[in-house]
Amino acid sequence: MMAATVIPHSPVPVREPILELEGIEKSFPGVRALADARLSIAPGEVVALVGENGAGKSTIVKILTGIYQPDAGSLRIDDQPVHLESTQDAWKQGIAAIHQETVAFDELSVAENIFLGHHPRRDGPWWRGGGLVDWAAMRSRARELLAQLEADIDPDTPLKALSVAQKHIVEIAKALSHEARILIMDEPTASLSQREIHDLYRIVAGLKRAGTGILFISHKFDEIFDLCDRYVVMRDGHYVSEGWIADVDSDQLVSMMVGRTLTQVFPRVDTVPGEEVLRVERLGNPTEFDDVSFALRRGEILGFYGLVGAGRSEVMKALFGITRPTRGKVLINGREVQIANPEQAAANRLVYVPEDRQVAGAVLGMSIKDNLTLPSLARLFPNGILDDAKERALTREYGLRLVVKAASWDQLLSELSGGNQQKVVIGKWLATRPDIIILDEPTKGIDIGSKAAVHAFMSELVQQGLAVILVSSELPEVMGMSDRILVMHEGRVRAEFDRSTMSAEAIVTAASGSH
């Protein structure tokens, strides 16, 4: 990875800040999201905003982008007080954001997405075409912005034809089209490959040289230490600390974030695996994966590792009945099963927690309680009569076990942080009391404290005899939690390692196809 610029040790920013937040407070019904939050960003500086899910980071971003207005406190740009009543106000002040999930229009071209809402217009009276979109100017300017980012993307290309990484670059170009002086990057690398992450590092370095101030939000500490100059720590809506990245290590940051020392992020407890619960024999789909075979035992965590596009998630979706394999067999407890849909998978006590929790794993407009009990309704209420007390008891059991932070169990899932949403998605399937649970990137986009809680719960599950398949792109996670690891490359299993033989170098070599 690209090394961060060396930052001089100093108690104050080298330059006067572009942006300053002071004493910001924000409350919602039953929840105080921010209390005395503050931060500053100087030109050409990358500031890491760190904290657990629920620390207030997302609320700060929404205040900076005009989606929320603070209840108290001040926001200053160039030492002048400003009030941001809308996203358009934020754009006018030179503030733009790139989110983990890009908000764009796939059917429109790259140029149209970049200039959405502020298309270049022709000059002159209307009867000579004045006021109409100047398509030539828009394409030309889009080409200039993409060249500035060293991106080889045709402005006329439909957005749907681009990769996730290229869509992120288009979002950055969109921010530059607003002449953004302050760029907010919220988990920008969550869905990127290692090569694409390196390209993003290069772009960030270029933005720094151009004097853009960047607020960087990531749960990946290696990115924070590689890219950022300073840090600001939030906890439970409160400002905790700030300083130079060069003056701290990851343990110190974690301690500030969670208010305690996390001595064990991967609390794997050794267990003796029991009888075989799942066997997959030569499973294949001609367009996604082929000849995939493995076995899984009770009390075991089987890790699946591979680079983006290796076929890991596709195998899991086939096991859960989301897609249909064209060949191979699946045996559960020694009996061959035909799983045509997720309902049949759950009936066979096999469940799947998907990678994309917001689209495929949850109903954001429903409450925590309704999401947690949704897959269990037929078992809990066989006569179709809802028992509110029983439903709340089940919600309370798994909400507390997974330490879901919420004002109440009736709170909408959309109002929770990403980490707490993930806990609810995991909890709803655990509430069905499965024998086999597939966790696809279970800690993607969640903070280190929430990761430790999910990992501890995984260890608790295998101690109780559950069989776990862990799909993860994070090598420390898959090595720290798994009893065995299967490595996939281009749709095939290329290598298998147990705890006594696994090494980072060997796993990465196999994942790259060199094994």
In this predicted model, what pLDDT tens digit does every residue of 37-76 receive, in sequence order? 999 999 999 999 998 767 889 899 999 999 999 999 999 9
In this predicted model, what pLDDT tens digit does every residue of 373-396 receive, in sequence order? 888 887 777 777 777 888 888 899
Rounded to the nearest 5°, which phi and psi values hold at 312?
Answer: -65, -50
Across residues 426-444, what is the average pLDDT?
Answer: 88
Across residues 159-184, what is the average pLDDT?
Answer: 85
- In the block, tokens 């191979």 appear at 328
Query: What pLDDT score was predicted for residue 264?
Result: 58
- In the block, tokens 């995984």 appear at 458
Sheet strands side by side (includes 46-50): 80-81, 72-77, 19-28, 31-41, 238-244, 230-235, 46-50, 213-217, 182-186, 95-98
In the chain the domains, ranked by start, together with CATH numbers, are 24-103+171-258 (3.40.50.300), 264-349+435-515 (3.40.50.300), 357-433 (no CATH)
In this predicted model, what pLDDT tens digit does every residue of 451-505 receive, in sequence order? 777 888 888 889 888 999 999 887 888 888 999 999 998 899 999 999 888 888 7
Determine which helix (DSSP H) or strand (DSSP E) holds 469, and give its type and residue range: strand 467-471
- The rounded distance, in Å, linking the Cα atoms of 332 and 434 is 12
Detail the DSSP E strand segments found in 286-326.
289-297, 301-305
Check: pTM over 0.75? Answer yes or no. no
Number of neighbours of residue 72 by Cβ within 10 angstroms: 12
Q: Which two tokens stand for residue 429?
A: 């399937």
DSSP 363-415: -TTSBHHHHHHGGGHHHH-TTS---HHHHHHHHHHHHHHTT---S-TTSBGGG
Per-residue pLDDT band for 8 (boundaries 50, 70, 90) equals: very low
Per-residue pLDDT band for 13 (boundaries 50, 70, 90) equals: very low
- The rounded distance, in Å, linking the Cα atoms of 391 and 512 is 47
